[in-house]
Amino acid sequence: MQPIQIHDVVANEFGQVNDYIVSQLSSDIPLIEQIGYYIISNGGKRLRPLLVLLAAKSCSELADDKLKNAIKMATIIEFIHTSTLLHDDVVDESDMRRGKKTANEEWGNAPSVLVGDFLYSRAFQIMVDVGNMPCMEILAKTTNIIAEGEVQQLINCGDPDTTEASYLKVIQYKTAKLFEGAALCGAVVAGANTEQQEALRLYGMYVGTAFQLIDDVMDYTSTAEEMGKSVGDDLSEGKPTLPLIYTMKHGTEDAKERVRQAILTGGLDQLEDIINDVRHCGAIDYTQQQAQQQADLAIEAIQPLPESEYKDALIALAHASVKRRN
């Protein structure tokens, strides 16, 4: 099953999510709509809302009321994700995302932060409309943990002594937690049993971790065109990602010193040498192996789910998370 077919199994529902997203961007303030449309329509695979739909439909056939709530929940997840992107780009001073100017580059920091706040609060308005208390509890905890992950990542920036365990905690908080919340909320709105909910929660956590590990690999293996952002962005921000942490442990003495100084200063003066260091010391293979392990755990986690095309799509999504190029 190819990535495009993953979307195909929920194509109708996915279209309804996109329509609902657009309807919920409505505001009396034109700038909010302008920035909201810009960031929402700016590419992206909508993996997290897709995960809500696949998780919900992998548990059971959805009655109309449950389907409507799954569509709303998918929109909530996308709005939370988009608000974090807007805020991240301001914090990271990013100027490109998905091959286009970031909102902060186009309109400035203040409008980007405030529109991020709008999307975040709109997500909670929709959540109240759904009225599912377990999902409210899940997403309240999820958004809090994401914020903690963002702060921890900020603390780690510029720290070349960051451990692999600390790095993994950041990506599990910052990235994997929303995948986990998406899968779990999909199961909850579908009325899944406890075993199915736990299976999908674990699946989301593992797939989200794999996704971020590969994202960090691509900073050293892909072109700017493939990634939709500048090569070396993580390094320029002093982020000690796993390829760099591994290089500082297993690279040559020169490589270790180059990486250490780059993390300390956020400098790109030796970017080409560092990319070669990362590639030649086994850091790419190691990080990819860790991502594959997470994808395998995700597939194992959903074995209790009934056989269906939606379960097949979840398995394909796990495989795709470690094979992507953008």
Predicted local confidence at residue 229, as pLDDT: 55
Predicted local confidence at residue 222, as pLDDT: 72
The domain limits of the chain are 8-314
Average pLDDT for 37-64: 89
Q: pLDDT of 189-241, one tens digit each? A: 999 999 999 999 999 999 999 999 999 999 888 765 555 556 677 888 888 99
Distance separating alpha carbons of residues 225 and 229, to the nearest angstrom: 7
H/E stretch holding 97: strand 96-97
Q: Looking at domain 8-314, does it have CATH number 1.10.600.10?
A: yes
Q: pLDDT of 34-48, one tens digit each? A: 998 898 887 677 999
H/E stretch holding 161: none
Torsion sign across C-alpha atoms 226, 228, 167, 292: negative
Average pLDDT for 49-56: 97
Predicted local confidence at residue 17, as pLDDT: 95
The stretches of 93-232 forming alpha helices (DSSP H) are 103-107, 109-130, 133-156, 164-171, 177-189, 194-221, 224-227
Tokens standing for residue 320? 């795709």
Q: pLDDT of 103-151, one tens digit each? A: 999 899 999 999 999 999 999 999 999 999 999 999 999 999 999 999 9
Predicted local confidence at residue 45, as pLDDT: 79
Q: pLDDT of 65-112, one tens digit each? A: 999 999 999 999 999 999 999 998 898 888 877 778 899 998 999 999
Predicted local confidence at residue 2, as pLDDT: 46
pTM: 0.92
Q: What is the pLDDT confidence band of residue 325, given thresholds at 50, 70 and 90?
A: low
- The pLDDT of residue 268 is above 60: yes
Chain centroid to Cα 179, Å, comes to: 7
Predicted local confidence at residue 118, as pLDDT: 95
Q: What is the pLDDT confidence band of residue 4, given thresholds at 50, 70 and 90?
A: very low
- The pLDDT of residue 3 is above 50: no
Predicted local confidence at residue 236, as pLDDT: 82
The SS3 assignment for 28 reads coil
- The pLDDT of residue 171 is above 80: yes
Distance separating alpha carbons of residues 226 and 86, to the nearest angstrom: 21
Mean pLDDT for all residues in the chain: 91
pLDDT above 70 as % of the chain: 95
62: left (phi over 0), alpha (psi -120 to 50) or beta: beta
Distance separating alpha carbons of residues 196 and 310, to the nearest angstrom: 14
